[in-house]
Structure 1
Amino acid sequence: MPHLELIATLEGHQDRVWQASWHPTKTLLATCSGDKTVRLWKPASHNNFSEWHCVETLEGAHKRTIRSVAWSPTGNELATASFDATTGIWENDPRDNDWECVATLEGHENEIKSVSWSSTGALLATCSRDKSVWIWEVESDNDFECLSVLQEHTQDVKMVAWHPKLEILASASYDDTIKIWKEDEDDWYCADTLEGHTSTVWSLDFNAEGEQIVSASDDQTLRIWKMYKPNNPQGIPTHNGEATWKTICTLSGFHDRCIYSVSWSKVNNCIASVSGDNSIRIFEKDTEASTDDDAPTWKNTTTIKDAHGVYDINGVSWFPNDQHPDWLSTVGDDGLVRIWRLVQD
């Protein structure tokens, strides 16, 4: 059986850590915290991964907790979403390797919970406790234009995530649903509402191809959803020429408290989840148990209990490319960031 090996523990944040985001191409990790800062971490050397240094602290742009941090696809910009209802855009000046907040996006009425860049970097999405999702267009000279304010969720929106290849957005909410958003002639609309969770949906992630989503909920389950296009061979009904998403697998009985974060590796296809029960769980597709792509079986192959001691684990994130395909990060209420390696025995 595989197991998780702790590579490094990163200390420096002065409050709980909410999220970690891996740079798209470098071995560089951005983390955000209740201490109103973002820290950038890298290994001490190319062959010493047990020791990491904080190489930059981004501060001064937000007045309250930074809840979410996201790299642009090029890795040249960072977006930060804060409880002060603003989103910061940070840019690196390569001449003096200095980070500066070059834009502040305003408009949300309450805490912003999540920020995400589209795969091309042309769009940015934010969501908030004010029940809305905003879509921003990235223009020249650090200008951002709000293209659409989406208000179909009936409660706090916890997370937004873009499709890995297309300009399709998914949002997860306190109203127990996930919504899929698409563009139609300069306006955005809800193309599908995914219902099935019985409590808050905290987190979601697409698989590498973007035709499946994994979601994590306060109902202590993970759900895997599959997209069925119109006239699909399985005969799944669709409406108005839109694809429809259906649950094809529910993973329950593994976590015994709220599941706060889930990450689907784009490289090794494993799913990692973390919870208020202080555990990390790794799931792998069981191809021996089921060969049916419309009713797959996933098995929990690895579990680390008390991964951050007695503290809630708020976020988990797989390394995004095949440079370190077996790495993942976790962040917790203990203010610590941990780097793990999935070892196949």
Structure 2
Amino acid sequence: MPHLELVATLEGHQDRVWQASWHPTKTILATCSGDKTVRLWTPISHDNFEQWQCIETLEGAHKRTIRSVDWSPSGNELATASFDATTGIWENDPRDNDWECVATLEGHENEIKSVAWSSTGALLATCSRDKSVWIWEVESDNDFECLSVLQEHTQDVKMVAWHPKSEILASASYDDTIKIWKEDEDDWYCADTLEGHTSTVWSLDFNEEGDQIVSASDDQTLRIWKMYKPDNDQGVMTHNGEATWKTICTLSGFHDRCIYSVSWSKVNGYIASVSGDNSIRIFEKDTEATVNEDEPTYKNIATKKDAHGVYDINGVSWFPTKLHQDWLSTVGDDGLVRIWRVVLD
């Protein structure tokens, strides 16, 4: 059986760490914290992955906790979402390799929980405790225009995630639902509401193709949803010419507390989840046991208990390319960032 091996522990944040985001092409990890900073980490050399260094600390732009951080697809910008109700846009000046907050996006009424760039980098999404999802268009000279304020969730919105290939957005909420958002002639609308979780949906991620979503919930389950287009061969009902998302697999009994974060590797297809039970779990599709692709079976191939000691693990993220496809990062209430490797026995 595979197992998780600790590659490195990164120390420096002065408060709990909420999220980590891998650079799209380089071995750089961005992490955000209750200490109001973002730190950028990289190995000290190309052949020493056990020792990492903080190469930059981004600070001064936010007055409260930075809850979410995300690299733009180009890797030249970072977006940060804060409990101070603002989103920061940071840009790297290659001349002196310095980072600067070049824009501050305002409008949310209170704590912003998540920020995400679209796959093209043309759009940015934010969501907040104010129950809304905002879609921003990236314009020239660090200007951002709010295209739409989406207010169909009835509670705090915990996370937004973009489809890996299309301008389709998914949002997860305290109202136990996931909503799928699409654009129609410059206006955004809710194309589908995914119901099935019995408590807060904390996190979600698309698979590589974007036709499936994995979601993580306070109900201690992971759900895998599949998109069915109109006139699909399986006879799944759709409405108004829109695709319908349907649960095809529920993973339960693996975590015994709230599952805070989930990440679906776009390279190896593994799903990683982390929880308030202090454990990391890795899941793989069981191809031998899966008879019907609309009822797949997944198996828990690796588990790391007490991965951050007695502390909650807030986030997990797979390395995005084949270079280190077996790596994942976790961040916790202990203020630590950890890099792990899946080792195949």
Match of 2:160 in 1: 160
Mapped partners of 1:130, 1:199: distance in 2? 18
Mapped partners of 1:109, 1:321: distance in 2? 37
Match of 2:241 in 1: 241
Mapped partners of 2:3, 2:291: distance in 1? 25
Read off the aligned partner of 1:51 and give its amino acid letter. Q
Match of 1:96 in 2: 96
Read off the aligned partner of 1:191 and give its amino acid letter. A
Mapped partners of 1:189, 1:89: distance in 2? 26
Q: TM-score, normalised by structure 1?
A: 1.00
Cα RMSD after superposing both structures: 0.3
**Cα deviation 1:167-225 (Å, max 9, x = unaligned):** 00000000000000000000000000000000000000000000000000000000000
Query: Is the partner of 1:245 in helix, strand or coil?
Result: strand
**Cα deviation 1:312-333 (Å, max 9, x = unaligned):** 0000000001110000000000
Match of 1:323 in 2: 323
Match of 1:64 in 2: 64
**Cα deviation 1:91-140 (Å, max 9, x = unaligned):** 00000000000000000001000000000000000000000000000000
Match of 2:269 in 1: 269
**Cα deviation 1:1-32 (Å, max 9, x = unaligned):** 00000000000000000000000000000000
Mapped partners of 1:341, 1:304: distance in 2? 11
Match of 1:76 in 2: 76
Read off the aligned partner of 1:326 and give its amino acid letter. D
Superposed displacement of residue 291, structure 1: 2.9
The answer to whether the aligner puts 1:217 opposite 2:217 as a matched pair is: yes
Mapped partners of 2:120, 2:233: distance in 1? 31
Match of 2:343 in 1: 343
Read off the aligned partner of 2:249 and give its amino acid letter. C
The answer to whether the aligner puts 1:9 opposite 2:4 as a matched pair is: no
Query: Is the partner of 1:323 in helix, strand or coil?
Result: helix
Mapped partners of 1:47, 1:116: distance in 2? 31
Read off the aligned partner of 1:273 and give its amino acid letter. S
Match of 2:169 in 1: 169
**Cα deviation 1:148-172 (Å, max 9, x = unaligned):** 0000000000000000000000000
Query: Is the partner of 2:323 in helix, strand or coil?
Result: coil
Mapped partners of 1:293, 1:100: distance in 2? 47
Match of 2:23 in 1: 23
Mapped partners of 2:302, 2:344: distance in 1? 10
1:165-204 aligned at under 5 Å gives the runs 165-204=165-204
Mapped partners of 1:153, 1:94: distance in 2? 40
Superposed displacement of residue 290, structure 1: 1.1
Mapped partners of 2:100, 2:292: distance in 1? 50
**Cα deviation 1:272-319 (Å, max 9, x = unaligned):** 000000000000000111131100000011100000000000000000
Superposed displacement of residue 343, structure 1: 0.6
Match of 2:295 in 1: 295
Match of 2:129 in 1: 129
Read off the aligned partner of 1:147 and give its amino acid letter. L
Read off the aligned partner of 1:159 and give its amino acid letter. M
Q: TM-score, normalised by structure 2?
A: 1.00
Question: Which residues of structure 2 form unaligned runs of 5+?
Answer: none
Query: Is the partner of 1:154 in helix, strand or coil?
Result: coil
Read off the aligned partner of 2:41 and give its amino acid letter. W
Superposed displacement of residue 62, structure 1: 0.0
Read off the aligned partner of 1:69 and give its amino acid letter. V
Read off the aligned partner of 2:277 and give its amino acid letter. D
Query: Is the partner of 2:19 in helix, strand or coil?
Result: strand
